[in-house]
Structure 1
Amino acid sequence: MSSYKLGVEVVSAHDLMPKDAQGSSSPFVELQFSGQRFRTTTKERNLNPVWNERFHFNIPNLGSLPQLALEASVYSMSKASQPRSFLGKVSISGTTFVPYADAVVTQHPLEKRGMFSRVKGELRLKVFLTVDPSPNSSDPVPKGDTPSQASQAAAKEVDQKKQSSAPAKEQQNPKVVMFSSSSPSQQPLDYALKETRPLLGRGADKPATTYDLVEQMQYLFVRVVKARDLPSGDAKGSVEVRVGDYKGTTKQFEKQQNPAWNEVFAFSKERMEAPVLEVVVVVNGKDDPVGVVRFDLTDVPTRVPPNGPLAPEWYRLDDKKGEKTKGELMLAVWFGTQADESFPEAGLPDATAPVDASHIRSKVYHAPRLWYVRVNVIEAQDIVMADKSRFPDVYVKAQVGNQESRTSTVATRAHNPIWNEDLMFVAAEPFDDDLILSVRDSVAPNKDEVIGSAIVPLGSVERRLDDGIIHGRWFNLEKPHQKKNKDKDKISCRIHLRLCLEGGYHVLDESASCSSDLRPTAKQLWKPPVGLLELGILNAMGIHPMKTREGKGTSDTYCVAKYGHIWVRTRTVLNSLFPRYNEQYMWEVFDPDTVLTIGVFDNCHLGEKGSNGNNKDAMVGKIRIRLSTLETGRVYTHSYPLLVLQPSGLKKMGELQLAIRFSTTSLVSMMCMYAQPLLPSMHYVRPLTGMQREFLRRQAIQVVAARLSRTEPPLRKEVVEYMCDVDSHKWSMRRSKANYHRLLSVVAAAADGIKWFGDVCAWKNPITTSVVHLLFLLLVCFPDLILTAMFMYLFLVGICNYRYRPRHPPHMNTQLSYAEAAIPDEIEEEFDTYPSGGKPEAVRMRYDRLRGVAANVQTVLGELASQGERVQALLSWRDPRATVMFVVFCLVAALVLYTTSLQVLATSAGLYLMRHPKFRGRVPPAPVNFFVRLPTRADCMI
């Protein structure tokens, strides 16, 4: 049990519902947490009682805290005939508990218990975590401790317990680490999901907008359209937009009197201190500006969508003395929010780190549509060899972009080799790459000779939407490396192929278990959307410093969200460890069993001194949310921990606050989706092998990364690979342990049921065993009630579990993934390259450990195979005596079942299994002994 306690201070209540004849109530509060209950004193006839009473609850373990909740129910004492009346309740999730130093008194409105309850009023509580449960302690947790420090202390306590309970043998010899059934360390409170209550943009007096899931942020927008009649000159010039220390600069113009820009700048209103906006035309090499236009910010109008955009106007330039000079600027200046359509294209000037606006602005990307290219290599004819004395060892090599694949080598005496093999590739629209085929001869172990080649444009390949027939085509081969004279380059060799672009498959570019889109490639096969997903990216808190600027740690972070074919990128917030994004995006949902992925990255391409173009954007953290776990129509506002497994271990990089809403367009269509196949029909009609799927998935990620890296601003390769889990297929001892314990947790329910039935048969609880006997006899006498009782039991269990349903969307679980329990060598192995780049001693130790794990798996597989072989041996006459006995038993059993009532047999068998321990023997029964004596094929193994 954790040393932390949950402290609850019941302060007061206000405006309670009267319950007695005098129009008053005698209230008290009953607290319930994790099976523990406390109650306050009763305040006689008081609708605004004050208690100021403190209670402390034991916490079973910090890892289970997010699944628990504190319930505070207010009752009123009445007469003896009616002991108490319900006045309302408050439920507080365990994810909101904080240390004492951060706790404040919070006012909670009382909620109803049922549909017909009538409640009103508020209850004031102070809820906190403490390590000192003394009621007189005024400061249980030092004020210097933060929630993160308190959680780290709790994690340290759990780690110490784990280390003290670790087997001595494993500590002495850590080279070979086997799977064990012990649970990993408990997840610290700092890694848990936290519910938040942000002030979202839509208020009671505001209409519904597309930006109602984020906090409204005010910006000063300045659109610089063009200029006319500027002074002529040879120097370069530009327009600078200045508000105090913040400055935005347009593109330069040269030797132009009427330049045009049409650029927009957005200045955050909360960071502006100057009362005047200046738009200055400057020329490089001159100290004095060409002219300036000034605006008093109090006179700038405010624009609220869906109002139309503000029309730009011509403004005469002033000199430094304030007098009119030659030249005019066309400008539009207004106050707006991030919902303005000009916001995505606007530059966001920063006073401390001025950068190119194209590197920091937000963007919506459309990933390319991916197709599978199926190349069925059938045969070749008239292969001509330079060396007539040998028979060719021929194979076909195919290439699409950077993807290469080949057929097997055919050694034939004839000059017409036959393969009939399928080669698969991934291609993206528009098809920039061609299919390049070459027929090659293996003249030596490391030497190939190209016999001929052919180039097929992918745009000319037939597209197949179903399992239709694709007719073969003959392609003439050309001599290699000669393309000047096509008539002379053609040879008599040709190749027979079936080519098609598969549109009936869903091309996976992410992990199959975390896919965000399950539609086929061909749009003709798409079905109408069944829902709408809205995401509000609010802010981040406590981001770990990713770089140093001016001697201080800082970060320039942006968020990327991926769902379906649409990727979105927020603007980069410069120089902030607590960035505020407040950007909202929307996707159509075609299947609820899909996953939304959000990643946070540090921008390392801002053109600072000391940086180069080879920098990679650093990964801050990632979040996945499965849509099927969300209730429709509900707005989820939570703070998600950003957890990253690094070579040094698990690390929390900060928190990201999101607002999510999943709404359905048709509830009937949504329910019908659950009865339809998860993947398009071609995955079942013409399935791909596991190796094909993994190979094509990696190729799809590379294709998408290459396309998105060519956008402006680019979505770089490291970002795409991180969002698509490119390394999910790699071996990891940590993942293997996690999956092993996931399997144990799945079969735990069946194991508990078997254990419970064993306790029933052992008569550990005579009352329970008697009830089971009675229920068993009832079902035997009325067998028609068996299925009815079974489904009724499942119905009641489902109804009872409704109150324990998850209140929050799923998130990264360090306990489930064994991220904290992994030892340093396992983490180092997980980050090792392929092929391994570790020291020989470490690689040898890992290999020995892997052999130990594989030996355990091998033993388990052998035992399962032996049990199956024993079943086969019953009738295979491998043991003639055992087969004779079993055949005679089957004959006798058939006669008994024919002449005896099934109810009598079921009653006898059931009562025999549940007989009292006094009538049980200490050795296995005869059927078990007979089964284990049956022969297996283990003795035939070498």
Structure 2
Amino acid sequence: TLQELYLSRASKRAKKITLDPSHTAHSLFELLPSGQRYRALSTRTARHRNSTSDPYVKFKLDGKTLYKSKVVYKNLNPVWNETFSFPIRNLDQKLFIKVYDRDLTTDDFMGSCGVELNKLELENSEMVLPLDDPNSLEDDMGVIIIDICLSVRDGKNKKHVSNFYEFKELVRQKSQLWTGVYTITLVEGRDLPLDGQADVFVRFKLGDQKYKSKSQVKKVNTQWRERFDFNQFPDTSTILEIEVVGKGGRRYEDCYGQCEIDLSGLALNESTLFTHELDPGRGRVVFLVTPTPCTGASITDLVAPPLEEPHERDNMLVKYSFRNSLKDLRDVGFLQVKVIKATDLMAADLNGKSDPFCVLELGNNRLQTHTIYKTLNPEWNKVFTFPVKDIHEVLEVTVFDEDGDKAPDFLGKVALPLLSIRNGQQVACPLRKENLGGLSKGTIVLELEVIFNSIKASIRTFTPREQKFMEDNAKFSKKVLGRNVLRVRNLYRAVCHANQFIKSCFQWESVQRSIISFLVFVLTVWYWDFYMMPMFMVLLIVWNYLQIASERVTRDLESERKGLMEKIHMVQEIVITVQNLLEEIACCGERIKNTFNWSVPFLSNLAFLVLIMATVITYFIPVRYIILLWGIHKFTKKLRNPYAIENNEVMDFLSRVPSDVQMAQYTELSNCSFHSPYRRRKASP
């Protein structure tokens, strides 16, 4: 391979070069740790209960991670045999090598060592480096063995170095592309212990992909019936990790057991049933795994986009044509995204520049561009393609600033629903903030095209939506709370307006409107059939479509700036509104409950008699006639008695039933003593 050829040549050159003091001042060196082996790790440092670890190695220089090895599972003497190279401008630095143990939640530190670069020789040298952890009580943390080759990067070998980095970039791009999909169906848990834990859920992990099932009330045989997908990447782990967890409180969790499955040997397009034992006496977990090949994900240059090749476009149009509507219903469509450039980005570095790269996410599929350094107007000119499993998904394009070993800085984000894409049109989208609520600085230029089958998309609409593997934990925000209260208030006002309209018809505020409403009500009730329900919904959709077609309403979620006192009053109003709403809901539910549990015998007796009468009436008289008589009574009540007060008899009855809070506040006379205060004073000496 290109990598092996480059390493052999670099090794030969390194043996012929003698170290010159001028090189350290003016030349660019390259360091090749050519294959690291992790050996003689003490079993006392194993992090797992089965006395094994899942180690991997990080190489750090000047606070930045230069390379991260793959994970070797269940091994205290792992062998990596991985090779990489990086340039060095200053030999007066120290290369840090840190070993970690991969875990489901957080990775455990297993030791580190360092290499002084100015002590290296220009030749291949094998080094045995003992690991050290100042916070560990263990004396022997194991050793790591590496082969390091230091060579001078002069004009003659720059071409080879550039070829190596082109190869590395190609490997990085290929590592993003998935070649298949593991469809996992979590069926149930069997013979789970009925201890104090209230809920139980399951965690799945495949490489860096994670999924957490819904929490279910624990039973002996807890049913989940959930299905999700993990992408299969080349040269990555195929070990599926499963953990069943019981949750008793907000923070307390109890692990019922873990198991691991190697998915590499499963047959394609065939479902395999797994039933794995958990810890002794703690039950089993049952799930299905179906590996399927996947095509459609790619990263190419702008000069050769896939859909601009005539044969490729024709194949896609045929694949998602009407005649193939019932083939592979999970493959809905194909998306092509051209990431052209971004302009006027936010400066994230101290030099007034940024190192931007772009991340594209469609559901749980994620691809990213290369990084362009020291610019606010990057031009990526890359083409990404995604398989579409749900036409209702949203493409999220996020621009980050690379920050070395630290987490990347957020620069901007856009969210584009697939159904809103206009094929072949180049659009300049203004970047938004991380919560998509307001505008950030800069724009990104994209060109999108989506091809999909409408029949498959329609069928997919009535199936469960795919959940995201990694979602941020919800945090309290007064802005979000205020927005949600406002949304609920708007819905409540819409219901109130509809209720007010109905009352105005009963009150005969407009004679023409009341007559029309009365005739529509009588005819609808008299000739009512079930088909009228969807017919009314169709009429409502058509009416709203005509309203939208006549005037487009623009939505702006960015609220206006408010002063400090206005914000304080807004928070107070929100808290009071939520408090009153929760009180009304709780009171209504408690009054209904207290009606049936004889908290107030008189009201329960009254409800009992009314329900008996309603049972007899509905048995002998059809419901259609009862509704018709009720409507005629409501419409003619104002005509018969102009001064009648509009009311709701059911709500009037419930208002007399006390809630639980009122029941606790009231004083029961049976618990009171009936002695007179006058006699009590007289009896006292």
TM-score (norm 1): 0.38
Name 1:796's counterpart in structure 2: 542
| Counterpart position of 1:753 | 498
Trace 1:146-545 onto structure 2 (pairs within 5 A).
234-235=16-17, 346=166, 365-366=176-177, 430=237, 458-459=261-262, 470=275, 472=277, 495-496=280-281, 498=283, 500=285, 502-503=287-288, 528-545=330-347
Match of 1:584 in 2: 383
Instruction: Answer yes or no: is 1:563 the counterpart of 2:362.
Output: yes
Determine if the alignment matches structure 1 residue 597 to structure 2 residue 396.
Answer: yes
Q: Which amino acid aligns with 1:234?
A: K
For residues 855 and 540 of structure 1, the distance between their equivalents in structure 2, rounded to whole angstroms, comes to 45
Structure 2 Cα separation of the partners of residues 361 and 899 of structure 1: 76
The 2-side partners of 1:865 and 1:455 are apart by 42
Match of 1:879 in 2: 600
Instruction: Encode CA deviations 1:848-903: one digit per residue, 9 max, x unaligned.
Output: x89x9777645533422322333345454433333444444445556666469547
Structure 1 residue 559: Cα displacement:
0.5
Alpha-carbon shift at residue 617 of structure 1 (Å): 1.9
Look up the match of 2:463.
676
Amino acid at match of 1:932: S
Match of 1:721 in 2: none
Between Structure 1 and Structure 2, the one with more helix by share is 2
Give the distance between the partners of 1:399 and 1:591, measured in 2 at CA.
23
Q: Which amino acid aligns with 1:678?
A: R
Query: Aligned AA for 1:581?
Result: W
Deviation at 1:560, TM superposition (A): 0.7
Contact 1:466 1:504 in 2 (8 A): yes
CA 1:676–1:236 in structure 2 vs 1: closer, same or farther (change >3 Å)?
farther
C-alpha distance in 2 between matches for 1:531 and 1:657: 23
Cα-Cα RMSD: 6.2
- 8 Å CA contact 1:364, 1:567 repeated in 2: no
Deviation at 1:533, TM superposition (A): 1.5
Partner amino acid for 1:911? F
- Specify the SS of the correspondent of 2:433: strand
Q: CA deviation at 1:747?
A: 4.4
Change (3 A) 1:937 1:466: farther
Matched, 1:658 2:440: no
Instruction: Tell me how far 1:503 sits from its aligned partner.
Output: 4.3
Answer yes or no: is the 8 Å Cα contact 1:463–1:501 preserved in 2: no
Distance in 2 separating the partners of 1:432 and 1:472? 17
Provide the residue aligned with 2:660 in structure 1. 937
> How much does 1:587 deviate?
0.8
% same residue: 14
> What secondary structure does 1:919 align onto?
coil
Provide the secondary structure at the position in 1 that maps to 2:589. Answer: helix
The answer (yes or no) to whether the contact 1:539–1:578 under 8 Å persists in 2 is yes
Letter in 2 for 1:660: L
- Residue 532 of structure 1 and its aligned partner are, at CA, apart by 1.0
Is contact 2:276-2:286 (8 Å) kept? no
Against the structure 1 CA distance between its residues 941 and 873, is the aligned structure 2 distance closer, same or farther, given a 3 Å change threshold?
Answer: closer
1:726 aligns with 2:456: no
Counterpart amino acid of 1:934? Answer: V
Asked whether the 8 Å contact 2:274–2:287 carries over to 1, the reply is no
Return closer, same or farther for 1:555/1:290 CA change in 2, 3 Å cut-off.
closer
1:521 alignment counterpart: none
Q: Whole-Å Cα distance in 2 between the matches of residues 650 and 603 of structure 1?
A: 23
Once the two structures are overlaid, the 10-residue window that deviates more, 874-883 or 918-927, is: 918-927
1:576-624 deviation digits (Å, cap 9, x = unpaired)? 322222322111112223232211011233xxxxxxxx43321101222
Q: Cα offset for 1:558?
A: 1.2
Change in Cα spacing, 1:472 to 1:652, as seen in structure 2 (3 Å) is: closer
3-state SS in 1 of match to 2:176: strand
Rounded Cα–Cα distance in structure 2 between residues aligned with 1:656 and 1:538: 8
Cα distance change of structure 1 residues 748 and 879 upon mapping to structure 2, 3 Å threshold: same
Q: Out of 501, 508, 520, which is 1:775 matched to? A: 520
After TM superposition, list the pairs within 5 Å mapping 1:821-900 onto structure 2: 857=578, 859-890=580-611, 898=620
Closer, same or farther: CA 774–625 of 1 in aligned 2, 3 Å: same
Unaligned runs of 5+ in 1: 1-223, 238-248, 254-262, 264-282, 293-328, 333-341, 348-356, 380-397, 406-418, 438-452, 476-494, 507-525, 606-613, 680-692, 702-724, 827-844
Distance 1:903 1:570 in 2: 65
Which residue does 2:485 correspond to in 1? 740
Q: Residues 895-930 of structure 1, C-alpha deviation per residue, up to 9 Å, x if partnerless? A: 6664695475145234146x3697144585766543
1:323 matched residue in structure 2: none
CA distance in structure 2 between the partners assigned to 1:291 and 1:575 by the alignment:
26
Once residues 568 and 585 of structure 1 are traced to their aligned partners in structure 2, the CA distance between those partners, rounded to angstroms, is 8
TM-score (norm 2): 0.50
For 1:635 and 1:466, how far apart are their aligned partners in 2? 39
Structure 1 residues 539 and 805, CA gap change in structure 2 (3 angstroms): farther
Which whole-Å CA distance do the structure 1 matches of 2:651 and 2:376 have between them? 66
In structure 2, do the counterparts of structure 1 residues 906 and 676 end up closer, same or farther at CA, with 3 Å as the change threshold?
A: same
Which SS does the other structure have where 1:652 is aligned? Answer: strand
* Distance verdict in 2 for CA 1:746–1:359, change over 3 Å: farther
Residues 69-112 of structure 1: per-residue CA shift (max 9 Å, x gap): xxxxxxxxxxxxxxxxxxxxxxxxxxxxxxxxxxxxxxxxxxxx
2: distance between equivalents of 1:867 and 1:660?
A: 51
Residues in 2 aligned to 1:584 and 1:501: alpha-carbon distance in whole angstroms: 41
Q: Is the 8 A contact 2:330 2:456 kept in 1?
A: no
Which of 410, 413, 422 is equivalent to 1:619? 410
Distance 1:497 1:889 in 2: 52
Distance in 2 (alpha carbons) for counterparts of 1:226 and 1:805: 70
Aligned partners of 2:544, 2:380: CA distance in 1, in Å? 41
Aligned positions, number: 456
**5+ long unaligned stretches in structure 2:** 1-5, 20-27, 33-84, 86-150, 194-202, 213-218, 245-255, 292-327, 666-685
User: Following the alignment from structure 2 to structure 1, what is the Cα–Cα distance between the partners of residues 600 and 258?
Assistant: 64
